[in-house]
Amino acid sequence: MTNWLGNDADDKWEMWAYGVAAPLPVAGIALFWIIGRRADLHDRSGTVLFGTDAAALGMTALLLALALHFHFFWRLNPNPAVNRHYAMGRTVALVGAIIGLLYLTWCFVRLCFLS
């Protein structure tokens, strides 16, 4: 796949940098939150999420990392069998992330205003 400059080397770099290297630390932190069921947010108020709320935050972050992977790695992959399925994977990951963000919004409203 050729970018607008016609340079395939840039596509290879983007594929690995934005499709693998960028989502990898996000996925690692997300798995840490999911498995540990605890998420320290390190903000001014020292917010800590436990249980399902922490797992939801981790799952949302994991789905966003997966969407980045589909968008950059699968879209720029030279193999047409992989390349043609990137839109479906990215869409499913983004829909899941939006649902996760809606749930997290509810969690923070409940945490800040209803408790």
The CA-atom distances, in angstroms, between 57 and each of 9, 74, 95, 99, 100 are 36, 25, 15, 11, 7
102 pLDDT more than 90? yes
Q: How confident is the model at residue 1 (pLDDT cuts 50, 70, 90)?
A: very low
Least confident of 42-46, 77-81, 105-109: 42-46
Structural tokens at position 39: 């998420």
Residue pair 19/69 in contact by the 8 Å Cβ criterion: yes
| Residue 7 phi, psi (nearest 5) | -110, 110
pLDDT in tens, 17-68: 999 999 999 999 999 999 999 998 887 777 888 999 999 999 999 999 999 9
C-alpha to C-alpha distance for 35 and 104, rounded to whole angstroms: 18
Q: Is 0.75 topped by the overall pTM?
A: yes
3 pLDDT more than 70? no
Structural tokens at position 109: 């409203």
Residue with tokens 């016609």: 6
List the domain boundaries for the chain: 8-113
